[in-house]
Amino acid sequence: MFSRETYINRRAELKKLVKSGVILFFGNNESPMNYPNNTYYPFRQDSSFLYYFGQHRDGLVGVVDVDNNREMLIGNDIDIEDIVWYGSVDSVAELAAEVGVADSAPMKELKNICDEAASKGRKIHFLPPYRHDTMIQIMDLTGIHPSKQRKEASLELIMAVVKQRATKEPQEIEAIEKACDVGYLMHTTAMRVTKAGLTEKYVGGIIDSVALSHASKNSFPTIFSQHGEIMHGIPRLDVLQEGRLALCDCGCELNDYCSDNTRTFPVAKKFTQRQLEIYSIVEACHDYAIEVAKPGVKWMDVHLNICRMMTDKLKELGLMKGDTEEAVKAGAHAMFMPHGLGHMMGMDVHDMEGLGQTYVGFDEETQPNLEQFGTNCLRMGRRLQENFVMTDEPGIYFIPSLIDEWRASGHCADFLNFDKIETYKDFGGIRLEDDILITPNGCRFLGNKRIPYHPKDVEAYIEEYRE
């Protein structure tokens, strides 16, 4: 939790942006795994609730009455049965005072607040819900059916939250840096322990133990696989083999902020020449993005330039052909990179994505192309601003099913050398990802130590430290 003044100032700015109505921020409830009292731990609070109200307890709702300049924390105090099992906790009134909120009330009062606002024709603002218990609560309070709630969510509130959360405060940047330091430990641990004969699941478990030991939790389920062509390949019982590549995409959550990095390295101690040829393309694309990222640059342009660079280099290897500009326009590059160059990051690893990616990663100037395969997965395209935190994550993948489908249909056949691509079906995939901060004149890596990613540095680290 930050200082009391942090939350007071954030809510004051929010009221200026939203201007009128009653704003509701729904905190999360405990989530049972297989019966009510066997809840999923650790508890994860809603990020926007945390941003404005800072408390991690379950069963809370933050209320901001813009017109009357009044704020409340709504929730029930725990009873003696809860205290017996979980220990004493602060009252809701005490929690409210910690974040500069003067008023509190039990949960039953929330219905009265909403009914009174509705009777006076005042707007009730809420963000798009993503948990079904919250959806039921919203229906009870407003009468809006869950199937309509995302559409009925307040656009004014969405845009205000995006505006505030997108630009990171110095204390937020410091928190992300600390999470990135743990991310460094996670990735270098993976490089040290990986070897042929172990299972993906074994290495993945060790990676997760670093997050659980040094941070709060993983920022997302760890991806560790020698099948790097699977975008979100969770660790399986597959045995790691000499000659394969291991792709590790992982991060942690520490003090409510995330890290997210990806490295690809050999199961053996050295890359093969074939692996180096593909790796060097991804490396060049990654470094280009770092070089050009700065305030005012449109990230969509960076993404498309990466696609052109990738296409040119894949043509040199005989995997692509034809006019580069036409190939990218047709989306032929998505055979190899069916995702975007990166995403915003902060309290969520895909920051604020639940609010609608059109609002988070795009703006009136730049809108996503939702019709073209690959390009439709671009999460970020807007112009960069100082103190944005985001990821830079190019990749190249050889996905057998996608190769077969495109070859059978003739899709982008003018730009793809399918005979040569067929010989790479057993290759896997390569991705590099780092967290960057947009600075006044450019950008910088986040975290005090750089996870090795240049091929010679990766090989040198593995040679020195692999167990």
CA angle 455, 459, 460 (to 5 degrees): 115
Question: Model pTM?
Answer: 0.95
pLDDT at position 4 over 80 = yes
Give the model confidence (pLDDT) of 395-447 as tens digits: 999 999 999 999 999 999 999 999 999 999 999 999 999 999 999 999 999 99
295 cis-preceded (ω within 30 degrees of 0): no
Identify the band that residue 307 occupies on the pLDDT scale cut at 50, 70 and 90: very high
Residue 86 above 90 pLDDT?
no
Residues 388, 344: contact at Cβ < 8 Å?
yes
Taking the alpha carbons of 299, 302, 308, 312 in that order, is the dihedral positive or negative? Answer: negative
The 10s digit of each residue's pLDDT in 261-275 is: 999 999 999 999 999
How high is the pLDDT of residue 226?
A: 97
Read off the pLDDT of each residue in 173-182 and give the average, rounded to a whole number: 98
Is 113 exposed, middle or buried (CB count within 10 Å of its CB: 0-12, 13-18, 19+)?
buried
Token pair for residue 126?
A: 């809420």
How does residue 85 score in pLDDT terms, banded at 50, 70 and 90?
A: confident
pLDDT at 6: 98
DSSP string, 239-278: BP-TT-EEEEEE-EEETTEE--EEEEEESSSS--HHHHHH
Which residues are CB-contacts of 323 (< 8 A; sequence separation ≥ 6)?
none
Q: What is the pLDDT of residue 143?
A: 97
Does the pLDDT value for residue 80 go beyond 90?
no
What integer pLDDT is reported at residue 303 of this predicted model? 97
Q: Which domains does the chain have, with CATH numbers?
A: 4-166 (3.40.350.10), 170-465 (3.90.230.10)
What's the pLDDT tens digit per position in 320-364? 999 999 999 999 999 999 999 999 999 999 999 999 989 999 998
pLDDT grade for 211, boundaries at 50, 70 and 90: very high
